[in-house]
Amino acid sequence: MTARTSSRWLAALAALPLLVVPVLVAGPATAEDVSTGQWYLDAFHINDIHASGLTGEGVTIAVMDSPINTEVPALAGSNVEVQEPSQCVDESGAPLASTSTDLDGLLNAAHGTDVASMISGTGDGYDGQSGVAGIAPGAKVLYYAVSYRGATAEEGTSCPGPATIETALAADINAAIDAGADIISVSLAVNGSVDLSSAIARAHREGVVVLGALPNTGFGELALWPSAANGVVAVQAIEASGQAQKDPGTGIGTAFPWTTVAGPGVGILTQGAVGGAWSDQALQNGTSLATPAIAGFLALVLQKYPETTGNQLIQTLIRNTGVDDHDLIHDESIGYGIASATHMLASDPAQYPDENPLLTDDGNLPSVADSTGTGTSTEPPVDPGTAEGSIPWVPIIVGGVVGLLVLIGLIILIVILATRRSRSSAGPR
């Protein structure tokens, strides 16, 4: 049984608190301690790629996360456009702030700032520090705040107000599509929902690549969205050695059946420490950092090959890990392999079919039919909010209404035809 088809797990998770994919914080560190925190720049040849003129310019990435501090040096001169208002509101009903300088409490901006910096960081830091350098600093980032801290650590994160975090995320995905996003990066792990499924399906139909961070802990069937949604690029985190990140509780590398690719996410330099100061730097771990890194890789490719479709971006992502244009071999730990910006840049994505290779017609939402806008899925959709693994009331009600209308139409047609025949047989009056 896989997580993609296990509605039992999805239903059980629907009752749990909604949690951001955790970033494991090592705490404030000295400049010497964090000197290795940008290992990904050399390991993935990012500096060389930037020197060649590829920085993601002309590409739009939508990022959805916690509030963000755009005043940190690495983001102060970046191309980040914070979208207002937030879908989440305070006790008075006013939208919560999307930007914040808080490092704790409801408006804690540490997570979102870390995530955005992996794409847009300029490399500037406080007082001569080497700040966070992003993968695609030339890309435009549309930033949406959708996740806020709960009153206690046990409450995790949420979207205060009438919106749930799922409906807020769905609304922001739709807004990002309307705003022209090419790529959507979500470093959150939430419960699936029909609204969220619909928004992701629309992204698939309109050629927008959606990336979701895998959970940082657990194995097999921890099916949290959007990473576990059909057709979404599910991102694993690796350390500098190339090994998948370890579950902090067991010390064993995390693994999920729907893992797509892996990217840099362990021992990464971040700016600001929860409960500390923004000038503090730390090495942190997590798929929350790997996911925007992969979004940045795709932006570099899209800049070089601007006619590439979203489906072809996913194709080139999974076919150019490690070596150029290889056969697909999947592993639950690192998916189709460690993403490679250099190998992708060396292979024109136009050679690949314009089809999302991650879509499976196994009942997982969003369905293939909804995601492609073609035909009817051969499998009933799996609803992430029901225990039986389907959305029985939706198709039954819709099908029943349609069937009733058809029946009424047939009855009316029969009556009309019978009347006409009666009049015809009677002749002129």
At residue 11, the pLDDT reads 36
Element (H, E) at 396: helix 393-426
Query: How many Å separate Cα 277 from the centre of its chain?
Result: 29
Q: Percent of the chain beyond pLDDT 70?
A: 76
Task: Considering only the C-alpha atoms of the chain, give the largest distance between any 2 of them, rounded to a whole number of Å.
Answer: 105
Q: What pLDDT, in 10s, does the model give residues 19-32? A: 444 333 344 444 44
Q: Residue 152: its pLDDT value, please?
A: 55
In three-state secondary structure terms, 211 is strand
Helix (H, G, I), strand (E, B) or coil at 219: strand
Angle at 416 between CA 410 and CA 419, to 5 degrees: 140
Predicted pLDDT at 248 = 84
Calpha distance 372→58 (Å, rounded): 26
pLDDT, residue 154, reads 57
Q: What are phi and psi of 184, to 5 degrees?
A: -120, 125
Give the separation between CA 178 and CA 203, rounded to whole angstroms: 10
What does pTM read for this prediction? 0.82
Average pLDDT of the chain, as a whole number: 82
Residue range 113-142, pLDDT digits in tens = 999 999 999 999 999 899 999 999 999 999
Q: Taking the CA of residue 40 as centre, how many other CA atoms within 13 Å lie in the half-sphere pointing to its CB?
A: 32
Q: Tally helices (H) and strands (E) across the chain.
A: 12, 14
**Who's near 413: CB < 8 A, 6+ residues apart?**
none
pLDDT category at 375 given cuts 50, 70, 90 is low
